[in-house]
Amino acid sequence: MRSLLSPLILILLLLGSGCGRDGSGTADRGGAHFYPVPDTAFQTPPAPDSTLALLDTVRTAPFLQAFDTLKSRSFTFVTRTIQYAADGQPVARQARTVEVRPDAPLRIVHAADSGAFDAGWLSPFVTLDTTLTPTTPIGQHLITDDPAYLAARNRDAYRYVQHLDTLPGGRAVRVIDVLARPGLGDDQPLRRARLSVLPTSLQLVSLYLIRHRQDALFGEESHFFTRLQPGPDDAWIPDTTRFRSRLSFPILPPFHLEQASAYRDVE
């Protein structure tokens, strides 16, 4: 099993996928929410060894490779983004619907813009424009080695919850929800990891992460969500990616952005 990397690197990668949000909801069939933490989650007893063993055997390879499979396929990429000012008010929105074909230039079939994006102190690293890279390999930057919730020293800092659920379309999945405990888990940057896996193969098909960190040098509140969908030839391909993040450093203004993207009509 592998786990989350540096949030700043991931945000830069996602921004490279293009800005886009017009408030229409077309980029995400499930709406712009993230999964809420259930009130009963913190009442669950500590995870038995079997749950930890299950986490350690989740198959992540198809999840990591899913975006690479898009490089040889035709599909429609829908993305929408909103940037907020320090007071929480939206200052810029952008939406794009793009036709993607192998070995052909991207074709923007819909564009909507309002306001002006400003990367601020991130400007040396990223340009908030319409340069789209829909096949950015997001998966390999969401999960890396040695998750904090599997380390023996952190076992008491997390709660572990399992239940059954379904993907859009009705496919059954087993959900493993790892949540930082109030008090004992307050110093853990990774506050939640929600993994949805196929019941038999334990293949990871959906991942939702919450990060929170606040210290003298850096502040972060981030949510990341990626879900796969069955594609042609029984291959698993990206369905939806979303993130919401607020980053802050001393003296500098915060950087607050949301983005939702969807992959449609994949051939």
- C-beta separation of 20 from 77 below 8 A: no
- C-beta separation of 32 from 264 below 8 A: no
Q: What was the pLDDT predicted at 163?
A: 86
- 52-69 residue pLDDT tens: 788 888 998 888 888 888
- C-beta separation of 25 from 95 below 8 A: no
CA pair distance 112, 42, nearest whole angstrom:
42
Structural domain including 33 reads 2-264
- 150-183 residue pLDDT tens: 788 888 899 888 889 998 888 899 999 998 988 8
Own/partner long-range contacts of 24-27 (Cβ < 8 Å, ≥24 apart): 24/80, 24/95, 26/78, 26/80, 26/95, 26/97, 26/262, 27/78, 27/79, 27/80, 27/95, 27/240, 27/260, 27/261, 27/262
Residue 44 has pLDDT above 70, yes or no: no
Mean pLDDT across 257-262: 88
CA 207 to chain centre: 7
Look at the chain and report how many structural domains it folds into. 1
Q: Does the predicted model carry a pTM greater than 0.85?
A: no
- 113-144 residue pLDDT tens: 898 877 666 665 555 554 456 766 666 667 76
Could you give the 3-state DSSP secondary structure of residue 153?
helix
* Residue at token pair 């949030």: 7
CA pair distance 204, 83, nearest whole angstrom:
30
Residue 36 has pLDDT above 60, yes or no: no
One DSSP character per residue, 193-255 reads EEEEE-TTT-BEEEEEEEEEEE-SS-EEEEEEEEEEEE-GGG-EEEEEEEEEEEEE-SSSPPE
Q: What is the mean pLDDT of the chain?
A: 76
